[in-house]
Protein backbone atom coordinates (compact mmCIF):
# COMPACT_ATOMS: atom_id res chain seq x y z
CA UNK A 1 0.00 0.00 0.00
CA UNK A 2 1.21 3.51 -0.75
CA UNK A 3 0.43 7.06 0.23
CA UNK A 4 0.45 9.85 -2.27
CA UNK A 5 1.80 13.23 -1.17
CA UNK A 6 2.38 16.50 -2.99
CA UNK A 7 6.09 17.00 -3.63
CA UNK A 8 7.79 19.62 -1.47
CA UNK A 9 11.24 21.20 -1.42
CA UNK A 10 12.35 18.37 0.88
CA UNK A 11 12.02 16.02 -2.09
CA UNK A 12 14.24 18.06 -4.41
CA UNK A 13 17.45 16.08 -3.96
CA UNK A 14 15.72 12.69 -4.13
CA UNK A 15 13.94 13.67 -7.35
CA UNK A 16 17.25 14.87 -8.80
CA UNK A 17 19.08 11.68 -7.90
CA UNK A 18 16.28 9.51 -9.37
CA UNK A 19 16.37 11.69 -12.50
CA UNK A 20 20.14 11.27 -12.85
CA UNK A 21 19.98 7.49 -12.52
CA UNK A 22 21.49 5.97 -15.66
CA UNK A 23 18.38 3.99 -16.63
CA UNK A 24 16.10 6.98 -16.09
CA UNK A 25 18.35 9.13 -18.28
CA UNK A 26 18.47 6.53 -21.02
CA UNK A 27 14.66 6.31 -21.01
CA UNK A 28 14.04 10.07 -20.83
CA UNK A 29 13.42 12.39 -23.74
CA UNK A 30 16.20 14.66 -22.45
CA UNK A 31 19.08 12.40 -21.41
CA UNK A 32 21.43 15.07 -20.01
CA UNK A 33 22.78 14.90 -16.44
CA UNK A 34 20.94 17.47 -14.32
CA UNK A 35 23.17 19.72 -12.20
CA UNK A 36 22.08 20.71 -8.70
CA UNK A 37 21.62 24.45 -9.33
CA UNK A 38 19.59 23.96 -12.48
CA UNK A 39 17.51 21.29 -10.78
CA UNK A 40 16.76 23.46 -7.76
CA UNK A 41 15.57 26.30 -10.01
CA UNK A 42 13.46 23.89 -12.06
CA UNK A 43 12.04 22.19 -8.95
CA UNK A 44 11.07 25.44 -7.21
CA UNK A 45 9.37 26.65 -10.39
CA UNK A 46 7.62 23.31 -10.83
CA UNK A 47 6.21 23.42 -7.29
CA UNK A 48 4.70 26.86 -7.82
CA UNK A 49 3.58 26.33 -11.42
CA UNK A 50 -0.21 25.89 -11.57
CA UNK A 51 0.22 23.87 -14.78
CA UNK A 52 2.39 21.27 -13.05
CA UNK A 53 1.53 18.74 -10.37
CA UNK A 54 4.21 16.60 -8.74
CA UNK A 55 3.36 13.70 -6.48
CA UNK A 56 5.59 11.46 -4.40
CA UNK A 57 4.56 7.91 -3.61
CA UNK A 58 5.48 6.74 -0.11
CA UNK A 59 5.32 3.12 1.08
CA UNK A 60 2.74 2.99 3.86
CA UNK A 61 4.63 0.25 5.69
CA UNK A 62 7.89 2.07 6.29
CA UNK A 63 7.68 5.56 4.76
CA UNK A 64 10.22 4.77 2.02
CA UNK A 65 9.93 7.01 -1.02
CA UNK A 66 8.74 4.97 -4.01
CA UNK A 67 9.10 7.55 -6.74
CA UNK A 68 7.41 10.48 -8.39
CA UNK A 69 4.62 11.04 -10.85
CA UNK A 70 4.28 14.37 -12.64
CA UNK A 71 1.48 15.94 -14.68
CA UNK A 72 2.17 18.83 -17.06
CA UNK A 73 -0.92 20.54 -18.40
CA UNK A 74 -0.83 21.45 -22.11
CA UNK A 75 -1.17 25.10 -23.15
CA UNK A 76 -4.82 24.62 -24.12
CA UNK A 77 -5.63 22.86 -20.84
CA UNK A 78 -7.21 19.89 -22.61
CA UNK A 79 -4.55 17.31 -21.84
CA UNK A 80 -1.70 16.64 -19.44
CA UNK A 81 1.54 14.77 -20.10
CA UNK A 82 2.27 12.16 -17.44
CA UNK A 83 5.76 11.22 -16.38
CA UNK A 84 6.67 8.56 -13.85
CA UNK A 85 10.07 7.89 -12.34
CA UNK A 86 10.68 5.40 -9.57
CA UNK A 87 13.39 5.57 -6.96
CA UNK A 88 15.89 3.08 -8.48
CA UNK A 89 15.93 1.15 -5.16
CA UNK A 90 12.17 0.59 -5.48
CA UNK A 91 12.05 -0.69 -9.05
CA UNK A 92 11.09 -4.25 -9.93
CA UNK A 93 8.90 -4.56 -6.82
CA UNK A 94 5.49 -3.90 -8.34
CA UNK A 95 5.17 -0.26 -7.24
CA UNK A 96 4.95 1.40 -10.67
CA UNK A 97 1.34 0.57 -11.49
CA UNK A 98 -0.08 1.42 -8.04
CA UNK A 99 1.76 4.74 -8.09
CA UNK A 100 0.54 5.60 -11.58
CA UNK A 101 -3.04 4.56 -10.74
CA UNK A 102 -3.15 6.52 -7.50
CA UNK A 103 -1.55 9.64 -8.96
CA UNK A 104 -3.65 9.64 -12.15
CA UNK A 105 -6.86 8.90 -10.24
CA UNK A 106 -6.14 11.73 -7.81
CA UNK A 107 -5.17 14.17 -10.57
CA UNK A 108 -8.33 13.40 -12.54
CA UNK A 109 -10.49 14.25 -9.55
CA UNK A 110 -9.99 17.94 -10.27
CA UNK A 111 -8.63 17.98 -13.83
CA UNK A 112 -11.08 16.90 -16.54
CA UNK A 113 -8.35 16.26 -19.10
CA UNK A 114 -6.93 13.57 -21.31
CA UNK A 115 -3.73 12.03 -20.01
CA UNK A 116 -0.85 11.48 -22.43
CA UNK A 117 2.44 9.65 -22.03
CA UNK A 118 5.49 9.41 -24.27
CA UNK A 119 7.47 6.23 -23.77
CA UNK A 120 10.61 4.99 -25.49
CA UNK A 121 10.00 1.88 -27.56
CA UNK A 122 12.76 0.06 -25.65
CA UNK A 123 11.10 0.63 -22.25
CA UNK A 124 8.96 -2.51 -21.76
CA UNK A 125 8.32 -1.92 -18.03
CA UNK A 126 6.87 1.53 -18.71
CA UNK A 127 4.86 0.30 -21.70
CA UNK A 128 3.32 -2.49 -19.58
CA UNK A 129 2.65 -0.04 -16.78
CA UNK A 130 0.73 2.48 -18.93
CA UNK A 131 -1.23 -0.21 -20.78
CA UNK A 132 -2.24 -1.95 -17.55
CA UNK A 133 -3.37 1.39 -16.11
CA UNK A 134 -5.89 1.93 -18.92
CA UNK A 135 -3.84 3.94 -21.40
CA UNK A 136 -3.94 2.94 -25.04
CA UNK A 137 -1.53 3.44 -27.90
CA UNK A 138 -2.53 6.42 -30.03
CA UNK A 139 0.58 6.86 -32.20
CA UNK A 140 4.14 5.70 -32.61
CA UNK A 141 7.32 6.61 -34.42
CA UNK A 142 10.78 5.08 -34.64
CA UNK A 143 11.68 6.15 -31.07
CA UNK A 144 8.49 6.49 -29.06
CA UNK A 145 5.07 5.10 -28.30
CA UNK A 146 2.46 7.77 -27.53
CA UNK A 147 -0.17 6.66 -25.05
CA UNK A 148 -3.48 8.24 -24.18
CA UNK A 149 -6.04 7.60 -21.49
CA UNK A 150 -9.33 7.35 -23.36
CA UNK A 151 -10.60 10.91 -23.86
CA UNK A 152 -14.14 9.80 -24.67
CA UNK A 153 -14.83 8.19 -21.33
CA UNK A 154 -16.50 10.29 -18.64
CA UNK A 155 -14.28 10.90 -15.63
CA UNK A 156 -15.95 8.25 -13.44
CA UNK A 157 -15.34 5.55 -16.04
CA UNK A 158 -11.78 6.72 -16.54
CA UNK A 159 -11.17 6.30 -12.84
CA UNK A 160 -12.76 2.83 -12.97
CA UNK A 161 -10.51 1.84 -15.82
CA UNK A 162 -7.52 3.08 -13.82
CA UNK A 163 -8.51 0.92 -10.89
CA UNK A 164 -8.71 -2.37 -12.75
Stretch touching ligand COA by CB under 6 A, among 79-87, 107-115, 145-153, 156-164:
79-87
Q: Does 91 bind ligand COA (CB under 6 A)?
A: yes
Binding mask 116-145 for ligand COA (x = CB under 6 A): -x-x---xxxx-xx----------------
How many residues touch ligand COA under the rule CB under 6 A: the total is 21
Stretch touching ligand COA by CB under 6 A, among 7-15, 19-27, 48-56, 153-161:
19-27
Q: Does 34 bind ligand COA (CB under 6 A)?
A: no
Q: Does 92 bind ligand COA (CB under 6 A)?
A: yes
φ, ψ (nearest 5 deg) of residue 117 = -145, 140
Nearest CB to ligand COA, comparing residues 114 and 156: 114
Query: CB of 101 within 8 A of CB of 133?
Result: yes
Contacting residues for 133 by C-beta, under 8 A, at least 6 apart: 97, 100, 101, 104, 149, 162
Contacting residues for 131 by C-beta, under 8 A, at least 6 apart: 137, 147
Nearest CB to ligand COA, comparing residues 89 and 155: 89
Q: Does 86 bind ligand COA (CB under 6 A)?
A: yes
Amino acid sequence: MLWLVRASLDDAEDVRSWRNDARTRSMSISTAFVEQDAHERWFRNALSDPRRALFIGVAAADGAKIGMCRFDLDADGAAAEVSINLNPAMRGKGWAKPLLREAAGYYLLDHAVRLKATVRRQNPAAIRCFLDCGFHLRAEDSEYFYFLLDPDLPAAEVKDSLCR
